[in-house]
């Protein structure tokens, strides 16, 4: 008897605020072009994705749809569904009251042959991406030393389909910019890229240094923050008391266990390592809110936070959010109590 399984996974790639560096940042700050609001935590069905594209809410999407046929507890045949998985967005630019929208340019999908695994499952892997239609003149550190076309963006998305019907989403590769969010077959946000590197992306992501030139970039992925943290991040960034932005280099310390502290932290980019009594308990990525326990439990830090990568963090006073919301957040995660 043959059983057929169908599964999907999606990435949305978008430009968060404060992610652009260098001279290009002025184009965003003056309104010539725009950052993107965070995508939703749940995509819903395909109609939701198309509505997000119509609303100019992401730069591009990679939709991996596949199937597998199972016989005697093993996947024996598998393949991809649909002619193309890429969904390119657009770029809107404005000068005063005038505006124009430019469609992005998609590159051909790269689909690997199905990889049949020892446990009877199969892995499907697809790379999608492209570039904006707008030119991006810039100096680059290797031939041709000057580029006019914008750098390439991409995600390499994998879907492991198991004989029992389960599917697991992976992000083995992606361009260093912009931010990439990964959704499972039900449309739920399940992974995030942990670090954006605008300068490195602008300098290197063209020609042979892309999957279309046989070179991918490994993706650093992190777990998704809690729903309470997502609400808290909107309150911290949109409230009357604007947070200040702090930048840390890899291995810099943000907090030290036992020291006094009454500030809240929203991790904007990069990965922080959580340590208690010298033991690594967790690593957290963009969207994580930290520091609430010191505010609620005596004013001293309950953990040490160290930058595992370069980090950008928003620092807000504890008065930016009421204590009831802080208590709700503290109840939703207690990273200091659970060893990773």
Task: For the chain, 340 residues long, give each residue's pLDDT as a single digit of tens.
Answer: 899 999 999 999 999 877 777 766 666 665 556 788 889 989 987 788 999 988 888 999 999 999 999 999 999 999 999 989 999 887 776 666 666 677 788 999 999 999 999 999 999 999 999 998 777 777 788 788 777 788 999 999 999 999 999 999 999 999 999 999 999 999 999 999 999 998 899 898 988 999 999 899 999 999 998 888 888 888 888 877 889 999 999 999 999 999 998 899 999 999 999 999 999 999 999 999 998 888 888 788 989 999 999 999 999 988 888 878 788 787 766 555 544 4
Residues 320 and 174 in one domain: no
Same domain, 170 and 56: yes
27: left (phi over 0), alpha (psi -120 to 50) or beta: alpha
Same domain, 9 and 106: yes
Domain check: are 296 and 166 in the same one?
no
Whether 112 and 173 have beta carbons less than 8 Å apart is answered as: no
CATH of the domain at 308: 2.60.120.10
Q: Is the same domain home to 173 and 29?
A: yes
Strand partners, 75: 70
The answer on 45 and 144 residing in a single domain is yes
Query: What total of structural domains would you count in the chain?
Result: 2
- Angle (deg, nearest 10), helices 323-332 and 227-238: 150
DSSP 12-78: EEE--TT---GGGHHHHHTTSS---PPPPSB--SHHHHHHHHHTT--SEEEEEEEEEEEETTEEEEE
Q: Is residue 171 located within the same domain as residue 296? A: no
Residue 257 sits at the vertex; the CA angle it makes with 256 and 258, to the nearest 5 degrees, is 110
In this prediction, residue 339 carries a pLDDT of 47
Q: Are residues 179 and 152 part of one domain?
A: yes
The C-alpha atoms of residue 188 and residue 210 are separated, in whole angstroms, by: 28
Structural domain boundaries enclosing 258: 227-337
On whether both 298 and 172 belong to a single domain, the answer is: no
- 150 and 279, same domain (yes or no): no
Backbone angles phi, psi at 243, to 5 degrees: -75, 155
pLDDT reported for residue 138: 75
Radius of gyration (C-alpha) of the chain in whole angstroms: 21
Identify the domain boundary among 206, 222, 238: 222
Pick the last residue of a domain from 222, 245, 264.
222
Q: Structure tokens of 10?
A: 């999606």
Q: What does the alpha-carbon distance between residue 108 and residue 106 come to, in Å, rounded to a whole number?
A: 7
Please enumerate in sequence order all residues whose Cβ is within 8 A of that of 175, keeping only pairs 6 or more positions apart, or say none: 129, 151, 152, 153, 154, 155, 201, 205, 210, 217
| Shared-domain flag, residues 218 and 310 | no
Q: Which of 176, 196, 222 is the last residue of a domain?
A: 222
H or E element that contains 160: strand 153-161
Same domain, 216 and 265: no
């Amino acid at each position: 008897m043959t059983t057929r399984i169908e599964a999907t996974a999606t990435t949305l790639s978008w430009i968060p605020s404060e992610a652009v560096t260098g001279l290009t940042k002025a184009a965003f700050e003056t309104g010539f072009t725009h950052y993107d609001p965070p995508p939703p935590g749940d995509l819903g069905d395909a109609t939701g994705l198309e509505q997000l594209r119509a609303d100019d809410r992401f730069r591009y999407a990679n939709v991996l749809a596949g199937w597998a046929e199972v016989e005697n507890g093993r996947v024996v045949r598998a393949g991809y569904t649909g002619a193309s998985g890429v969904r390119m967005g657009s770029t809107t630019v404005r000068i005063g009251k005038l505006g124009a929208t430019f469609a992005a340019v998609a590159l051909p999908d790269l689909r690997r042959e199905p990889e049949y695994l020892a446990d009877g499952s199969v892995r499907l892997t697809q790379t999608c991406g492209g570039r904006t239609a707008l030119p991006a003149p810039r100096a680059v550190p290797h031939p041709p030393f000057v580029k006019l076309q914008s750098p390439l963006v991409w995600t390499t998305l994998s879907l492991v389909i198991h004989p029992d019907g389960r599917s697991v989403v992976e992000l083995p590769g992606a361009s260093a910019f912009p931010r990439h969010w990964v959704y499972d077959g039900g449309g739920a946000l399940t992974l995030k890229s942990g670090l954006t590197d605008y300068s490195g992306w602008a300098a290197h992501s063209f020609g042979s240094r892309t999957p279309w030139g046989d070179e991918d970039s490994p993706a650093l992925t992190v777990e998704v923050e809690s729903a309470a943290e997502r609400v808290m991040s909107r309150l911290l960034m949109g409230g009357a008391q604007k947070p200040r932005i702090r930048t840390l280099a890899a291995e810099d310390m943000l907090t030290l266990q036992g020291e006094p502290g009454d500030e809240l932290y929203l991790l904007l980019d990069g990965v922080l390592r959580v340590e208690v009594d010298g033991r690594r308990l967790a690593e957290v990525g963009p969207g994580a809110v930290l520091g609430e326990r010191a505010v609620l439990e005596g004013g001293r830090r309950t953990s040490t936070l160290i930058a595992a990568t370069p980090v950008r963090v928003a620092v807000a006073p504890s008065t930016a959010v009421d204590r009831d919301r802080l208590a709700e957040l503290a109840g939703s995660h207690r990273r200091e109590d659970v060893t990773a």
